Amino acid sequence: MRIARPTDRLEEVVAFYRDGLGLRELGRFSDHEGYDGVMLGLPEATYHLEFTQHRTGSPAPAPSADNLVVLYILDADELAGLQKRLRSMGYRAVDPLNPYWADKSVTFEDPDGWRVVLCSEPGI
């Protein structure tokens, strides 16, 4: 599975997910029909995030505060380390729109305003 979305800040978004959250850069392409892109994820997984940037700009508006990518981080030390690293990069936690996430997670916004929830409980 691939989740793809456009951005006008490709390198900033890549830094957030790669350097901040620790996802690995799995692939990159340049000037494919006017698009540049980067795929990020876990090498052994069959899913990843793809971020693309068109040379003439993004065709989409910013997301709502309830568009989320949820990462389940069960190790307390790993979760604390991710939060510390993101804060050192200048990102601050934001209050979740949905109160479901308030007592079990911390939410950050990437450079485009897309929200990433770092949840301390197991997923489904």
> 60 CB contacts (<8 Å, ≥6 apart)?
5, 6
Start-end ranges of CATH 3.10.180.10 in the chain? 2-54, 68-119
- Beta-bridged to residue 111, according to DSSP, are none
Task: Tell which CATH classification among 3.40.605.10, 3.10.180.10, 3.40.640.10, 3.40.50.2000 matches the domain 68-119.
Answer: 3.10.180.10
User: In a structure prediction context, what are the per-residue pLDDT tens digits for the chain, which is 124 residues long?
Assistant: 999 999 999 999 999 999 999 999 999 999 999 999 999 999 889 999 999 999 998 776 778 899 999 999 999 999 999 999 999 999 999 999 999 999 999 999 999 999 999 999 998 8
CA separation for the pair 114, 107 (Å, rounded): 10
Within 10 angstroms of residue 38's Cβ, the number of other Cβ atoms is: 23
CA angle 31, 46, 124 (to 5 degrees): 125
Q: What is the pLDDT of residue 89?
A: 97
> 91 CB contacts (<8 Å, ≥6 apart)?
16, 20, 108, 109
Phi, psi of 68 (to 5 degrees): -130, 145
Tell whether the torsion through CA atoms of 90, 15, 40 and 97 is positive or negative: positive
Q: What is the pLDDT of residue 57?
A: 86
Task: Tell which CATH classification among 3.30.470.10, 2.40.50.320, 3.10.180.10, 3.40.50.800 matches the domain 2-54.
Answer: 3.10.180.10
